[in-house]
Structure 1
């Protein structure tokens, strides 16, 4: 899941009367279970009210007395660079990643009386690590209550995980004896229990294809129009894998809208994915206009994270974008993979919230039965360098003995250690280096960008690198493209273009925004720039600057001087910025081939500049890149900057020695 979702819709759900939700009849049993057990596993479908109502039930039961706070890991409210809580806060909603960061300062998370980990079944990297950290805290804090909320039936796995004692190989029988000993000693608090809450209230019919679809986006569009002409009223939710597919689907729907007879309702297609502005995301929650049927085309963000009213029909493409890290090439890509049966069930369940619904699966029934029961946890297919860095900062030096819910492959751990060593974050004994490694762990960015930020003073470009770091957090949501405005957006991008690549172009955009666009929102509209995204970048930049100032690193700001030196094309300044970027992104280096594609340094992976990159169809010998993704049968790179080959061995001699 992304780190940003629709906060407004979530806050509205907090105020929904508990009596209207399936959780209402479990109110007393939940309060009792938390009082008498250190761990509670709550099983319930999305929409049952568990996320919004359980914290309020516990607040009313007195779990926020003595200044204590209930923490709920919920995407969307307190994100990586924002915190809107105060001294009077009783219930705090925050990402699991942010709660992990709090543990760096307060290792026992002592301000919290209850910690609720929501959507744990998704098995994200940060939630799995948080489960392990909380398991360690649990031994020291008998007063802490832990709630794990899951929409699938993995409850026994979670309960067993917390029941295991220090010895991770201990049997269930051993743990049962340990619990009996605890009871004999007069400890009235049990180790844990499970509460199940019914979710879906109406039946959902499932329809499969007779034969596999050649192109699921085209088939999705056809299915949307079939539903519109052949089925009853109700909005449609379509699951695709990413932004490009969603925008293609919306364009295809728009092309076919004139074919709908004038006396029939029209279709109102809306996108939903993490890169959209909050304002754009909110449209999906608004009431459907008269004489229209809303069609929401979404990533898996709508699978479990949000409940959208009015959905009666679901169209499931059967795929999801998953992170996949190759320890040999050192490259992590987002790749479209078949969903799990659990995810397919989740998606179908979206259709049965308000009335009987239908789910149209764009795959055969045989394909469904061949799906894995659950997705491979992120920890078994991700770059572990960020996780290892955080664990080391938490004082967990022996990574192998950490209590993982599912242990990662040793090859991923070794590669993560090698990367951190090459970045200078670890010393020869695999301990955090001081001050570099400690500071990298404390910065709220991934290790490569942390190294770049902490190297920038030495290159005389700290102010510029701060801006670039903030802009890359937007993940491409810099430009606003409305239907039929692709050419206008391209023209706007070229106004800010810098020959050396995307990072310096992002710098130009931001500098123009803070001098002109921040005071004049019309300037953003004219240049097809996303005002809210750029405002967010300014906020993130200020937060990163405060981190650096806490480290005693002075950030000299002179926007006019910055703009003159970079915009005028000062070779010295632009080269220093590119050199600085290379100190962190040396592992993401590639060389252009005669056909215009790129190959990684080891020659094993063919890459293509993404059409949104300024390096698309342009010449460059060597480049570094920030982001990589798979679309169809091609692997694309984005946020690309030209570099010199010699810089790679100059700034990362250890890495290229290890790679050989």
Structure 2
């Protein structure tokens, strides 16, 4: 979804038809042509392209966004891109100028030092964004039932705050469907004039046409509420997607991630606390188009105790598929790839 929406936005700003100068490539859909110069794609698809073209010779500049998420695909891709840069720089001087690969790594909440050191002391540039001020509100005491606390907060915002859409972060589809049912049930208890509240679900397994509904304007007189499922490796509404109209964010401070037990050989999805980087990303969603508010459903003291960044997925999942993928890419020295 992020790939498609960002490509559409850039095509509009460049005043060109999508699929010509600006295009995108996702699974089962390729909106590019021979005239495409800016191409948006997922890290997984770029890795697949590397299987056919190990030097990624079609590209002169590659931008990797949201690097702080540290997904397996992103980490493997960065290691591969470093190796590609090395191979392409070993050409003769004249050829090197033509084949030099420029790599830009971006994130709104990245600890740039580690990435800079990994890429041989690459320059780190801090760019001030157009972020609007966001008021952060915490609970006085820890909440025992985050779903109930979220429900109360939804109606508090709906009844007391001004116009603006509401983005609620939840850990999965089950919670999203539960909160939708609870909201509809409680809406019936309000006066008819206050029952104008729309709910649009948003999670990864939702069909793309339903995902895109969150970008449609709400009818006149309605407030639109977007509930977001945060799933392993894909925080749909947390990263580069800007949902228009969002002014309020509710953050229970939880996320569902992949876990792996080497003893039992079983992979599982577990709910854990977010990192500070994730919490900052979530609160930033309220300040994309104007001043906003973020309601964190936990005390401020808990935020101070959170990890600075997310534990890399590569440290908590089964690596057999990763090793097979690297082997298919021609990388047999896995440890060497990590170190070099």
TM-score of the aligned structures, taking structure 1 as reference length: 0.47
* Aligned CA distance change for structure 1 residues 95 and 8 (closer, same or farther; 3 Å): closer
Q: 3-state SS of the aligned residue for 1:391?
A: helix
Counterpart residue number, 1:208:
138
Bigger fraction of residues in helix: 1
Select the residue among 46, 52, 65 that pairs with 1:105.
Answer: 52
* Aligned CA distance change for structure 1 residues 193 and 338 (closer, same or farther; 3 Å): same
* Aligned CA distance change for structure 1 residues 356 and 302 (closer, same or farther; 3 Å): same
Does the CA-based 8 Å contact 1:6-1:281 persist in structure 2? no
Matched, 1:230 2:226: no
Select the residue among 26, 44, 65 that pairs with 1:79.
Answer: 26
Counterpart residue number, 1:12:
8
Counterpart residue number, 1:197:
127
Select the residue among 197, 200, 204 that pairs with 1:274.
Answer: 204
Q: Deviations over 1:81-109 (max 9, x none)?
A: 44343333322222111111211221111
Matched, 1:146 2:103: yes
Matched, 1:373 2:305: no
Give, in angstroms, the shift of residue 12 of structure 1. Answer: 2.7
Q: 3-state SS of the aligned residue for 2:330?
A: coil
* Aligned CA distance change for structure 1 residues 321 and 345 (closer, same or farther; 3 Å): same
* Aligned CA distance change for structure 1 residues 276 and 376 (closer, same or farther; 3 Å): same
Give, in angstroms, the shift of residue 10 of structure 1. Answer: 2.7
Q: CA RMSD in A?
A: 2.1
Q: Deviations over 1:587-607 (max 9, x none)?
A: xxxxxxxxxxxxxxxxxxxxx
Q: Distance in 2 between matches of 1:328 and 1:85?
A: 45
Does the CA-based 8 Å contact 2:198-2:224 persist in structure 1? yes
Q: Distance in 1 between matches of 2:132 and 2:216?
A: 23
Counterpart residue number, 1:218:
148
Q: 3-state SS of the aligned residue for 1:396?
A: coil
Q: 3-state SS of the aligned residue for 1:295?
A: strand
TM-score of the aligned structures, taking structure 2 as reference length: 0.88
Does the CA-based 8 Å contact 2:7-2:40 persist in structure 1? no
Q: Distance in 2 between matches of 1:388 and 1:153?
A: 26
Q: Deviations over 1:283-307 (max 9, x none)?
A: 1111121111111000231011310
Matched, 1:158 2:115: yes
Structure 2: give runs of 5+ residues left out of the alignment. 15-19, 90-99, 230-234
Aligned counterparts, 1:580-599, within 5 A: none
Give, in angstroms, the shift of residue 8 of structure 1. Answer: 4.8
Matched, 1:397 2:332: yes
Q: Deviations over 1:296-351 (max 9, x none)?
A: 00023101131011111100011011111111111111111100011101111111
Select the residue among 220, 245, 250 that pairs with 2:180.
Answer: 250
* Aligned CA distance change for structure 1 residues 360 and 404 (closer, same or farther; 3 Å): farther
Q: Flag the structure with larger Rg.
A: 1
Does the CA-based 8 Å contact 1:129-1:404 persist in structure 2? no
Counterpart residue number, 1:189:
none
Counterpart residue number, 2:273:
338
Give, in angstroms, the shift of residue 135 of structure 1. Answer: 0.5
Counterpart residue number, 2:213:
283
Counterpart residue number, 1:439:
none
Does the CA-based 8 Å contact 1:79-1:95 persist in structure 2? yes
Q: Distance in 1 between matches of 2:296 and 2:136?
A: 7
Q: Deviations over 1:446-474 (max 9, x none)?
A: xxxxxxxxxxxxxxxxxxxxxxxxxxxxx
Bigger fraction of residues in strand: 2
Q: Distance in 1 between matches of 2:228 and 2:140?
A: 24
Matched, 1:115 2:62: yes
Give, in angstroms, the shift of residue 352 of structure 1. Answer: 1.2
Q: Distance in 2 between matches of 1:80 and 1:286?
A: 24
* Aligned CA distance change for structure 1 residues 160 and 222 (closer, same or farther; 3 Å): same
* Aligned CA distance change for structure 1 residues 401 and 8 (closer, same or farther; 3 Å): closer
Structure 1: give runs of 5+ residues left out of the alignment. 19-55, 60-69, 165-191, 406-660
Aligned counterparts, 1:533-572, within 5 A: none
Does the CA-based 8 Å contact 1:6-1:282 persist in structure 2? no
Q: Distance in 2 between matches of 1:151 and 1:7?
A: 17
* Aligned CA distance change for structure 1 residues 338 and 130 (closer, same or farther; 3 Å): same
Select the residue among 310, 314, 317 that pairs with 1:382.
Answer: 317
Q: Distance in 2 between matches of 1:383 and 1:223?
A: 38
Q: Distance in 1 between matches of 2:267 and 2:31?
A: 33
Q: Distance in 2 between matches of 1:270 and 1:83?
A: 27
Counterpart residue number, 1:131:
78
Aligned counterparts, 1:398-477, within 5 A: 398-403=333-338
Give, in angstroms, the shift of residue 220 of structure 1. Answer: 0.5
Give, in angstroms, the shift of residue 270 of structure 1. Answer: 1.0
Give, in angstroms, the shift of residue 403 of structure 1. Answer: 2.1
Q: 3-state SS of the aligned residue for 1:354?
A: coil
Does the CA-based 8 Å contact 2:68-2:309 persist in structure 1? no
Does the CA-based 8 Å contact 2:2-2:236 persist in structure 1? no
Give, in angstroms, the shift of residue 215 of structure 1. Answer: 1.2
* Aligned CA distance change for structure 1 residues 110 and 15 (closer, same or farther; 3 Å): closer
Q: 3-state SS of the aligned residue for 1:333?
A: strand
Q: Distance in 2 between matches of 1:397 and 1:290?
A: 59
Give, in angstroms, the shift of residue 7 of structure 1. Answer: 5.4
Counterpart residue number, 2:243:
308
